Amino acid sequence: MNTINDRINSLISDISGGNKRAFAIKMGISPSVIENIVGSRKSKPSFDILETLARSVENINTEWLITGTGNMYLNQDKTKSEIIPSPISFTESMFFDLLREKDLKIEDLNRMIGRLEAEIEILKK
């Protein structure tokens, strides 16, 4: 059976080529929220998330989104749907900037760990 989680995953595939993080950022939704909905947890989306999708995805068939009835888009002539940019609040913008910073720091720390592990191996010999 096609669940609402499956339908949101289909939307992610169509709009962002399956990239959940890119989709979340386009929608102004936290990537972890999208991951919880379409990842292994399969959490049910909140009304706020559904409302954001309904308002942000041009031509979305909300009946399909909620019930699975009909086609994904109202006008099937379009090959892809466009995102209607939703204004991101200052707080949300700061949140996404902090997420990007955190990701960069994690990458740096992983590189440092790799160098230190190599150095340890040399010292062991």
Q: Are 11 and 57 in contact (CB under 8 A)?
A: yes
Judged on CB neighbours under 10 Å (0-12, 13-18, 19+), 104 is exposed
Write the DSSP symbol of residue 100.
H
pLDDT at 98: 73
User: How many Å apart are CA 111 and CA 69, to the nearest integer?
Assistant: 48
pLDDT at 101: 79
User: How many Å apart are CA 98 and CA 103, to the nearest integer?
Assistant: 9
Q: Point out which residues pair with 83 in neighbouring strands.
A: 57
Q: Would you say the pTM of this structure is higher than 0.75? A: no
Q: Tell me the per-residue pLDDT of 17-55, one tens digit each, with 9 for 90 and over.
A: 999 998 998 888 889 999 999 998 999 999 989 998 988
Q: Tell me the per-residue pLDDT of 75-124, one tens digit each, with 9 for 90 and over.
A: 766 545 555 555 555 566 666 667 777 878 888 898 999 999 999 999 99
Instruction: Read off the amino acid at residue 112.
Output: M
With tokens 């989104």, the residue in question is: 65
Average pLDDT of span 53-61: 87
- Of 94 and 68, more confident: 68
Write the DSSP symbol of residue 79.
S
CATH code of the region 1-85: 1.10.260
Task: Name the residue ranges covered by the structural domains of the chain.
Answer: 1-85, 88-125
Write the DSSP symbol of residue 60.
B
Q: Which two tokens stand for residue 51?
A: 């409302």
